[in-house]
Amino acid sequence: MAKAPSDPRPHHPLSPSNWTKWVKCPGFEKLRDEDEASRARLERGNRAHRMLEAALTGEPVQDSGEDACDLWEQAEWAAGEIMRSAPCNLRVEVQLKMPDYAPKYFGYADVTADGHVWDLKTGYFDDGYRAQLAGYALAVMDFEMRSELTLHLLYSECQRHEEWTLTYVEAAAIARDVLAARAAAVEKREGLVAGEICGRCALAGTCPALAAAAAPAVEAAVELMPAEDVPHLPAGAGPLTSESVTSDPLAAGRFLFAFKAMEDIAGRAEAFVRAELLDGRPVPGFELQNGSSPSYVPAEEVVRWASSIGADRIITAYGGMPVASFKKLYAQVFPDKEFPPAITHQGKGFKRLCRVKPRKSKKAKALPLSLQLSEPTNIHNPTCPATILQEKPRTLSRCNPASTFS
Q: Which stretch binds ligand SF4 (CB under 6 A): 39-47, 92-100, 142-150, 200-208?
A: 200-208
Q: Which residues, at least 6 apart from 139, have a Cβ–Cβ distance to it below 8 Å? A: 96, 97, 98, 106, 107, 109, 371, 373
Return the number of the residue (18 or 57) whose C-beta is nearest ligand SF4.
Answer: 18
198 binds ligand SF4 (CB under 6 A): yes
- What would the x/- binding string for ligand SF4 be over residues 281 to 320, using CB under 6 A? ----------------------------------------
Site residues (CB under 6 A) for ligand SF4, limited to 338-367: none
Cβ(136)–Cβ(96) under 8 Å? yes
Q: Which stretch binds ligand SF4 (CB under 6 A): 37-45, 80-88, 151-159, 204-212?
A: 204-212
Select the residue interacting with ligand SF4 from 210, 240, 245, 369 (CB under 6 A).
210
209 binds ligand SF4 (CB under 6 A): yes
Kindly state the smallest distance separating residue 65's Cβ from ligand SF4, in Å.
32
Return the number of the residue (25 or 221) whose C-beta is nearest ligand SF4.
Answer: 25
Kindly state the smallest distance separating residue 193's Cβ from ligand SF4, in Å.
6
Residues in the chain, overall count? 406
Return the number of the residue (13 or 99) whose C-beta is nearest ligand SF4.
Answer: 13
28 binds ligand SF4 (CB under 6 A): yes
Return the number of the residue (75 or 203) whose C-beta is nearest ligand SF4.
Answer: 203
Q: Which stretch binds ligand SF4 (CB under 6 A): 166-174, 201-209, 290-298, 349-357?
A: 201-209
245 binds ligand SF4 (CB under 6 A): no
Give Cα separations from 395 to 187, 269, 311, 392 (angstroms).
38, 22, 29, 9
211 binds ligand SF4 (CB under 6 A): no
55 binds ligand SF4 (CB under 6 A): no
Q: Which residues, at least 6 apart from 245, have a Cβ–Cβ distance to it below 8 Å? A: 251, 252, 254, 255, 256
Size of the site for ligand SF4 (CB under 6 A): 14
Give Cα separations from 227 to 165, 267, 288, 336 (angstroms).
56, 20, 35, 21
Dist. CA 35–CA 372, nearest whole Å = 35
203 binds ligand SF4 (CB under 6 A): yes
179 binds ligand SF4 (CB under 6 A): no
27 binds ligand SF4 (CB under 6 A): yes
Q: Which stretch binds ligand SF4 (CB under 6 A): 88-96, 192-200, 257-265, 273-281?
A: 192-200
192 binds ligand SF4 (CB under 6 A): yes
215 binds ligand SF4 (CB under 6 A): no
Kindly state the smallest distance separating residue 187's Cβ from ligand SF4, in Å.
13
194 binds ligand SF4 (CB under 6 A): yes
Q: Which candidate, 209, 206, 210, places its Cα nearest to that of 246? A: 206
Select the residue interacting with ligand SF4 from 48, 79, 140, 201 (CB under 6 A).
201
What phi, psi does 374 have (nearest 5°)? -120, 145
- What would the x/- binding string for ligand SF4 be over residues 6 to 25, using CB under 6 A? -------------------x
Question: Which long-range contacts link 39-43 to residues 24+ away (Cβ below 8 Å)?
Answer: 39/2, 39/4, 39/5, 40/388, 40/389, 40/390, 41/122, 41/123, 42/4, 42/5, 42/7, 43/5, 43/388
Return the number of the residue (25 or 369) whose C-beta is nearest ligand SF4.
Answer: 25
| Residues in contact with ligand SF4 by the rule CB under 6 A | 25, 27-28, 192-194, 197-198, 201, 203-204, 207, 209-210
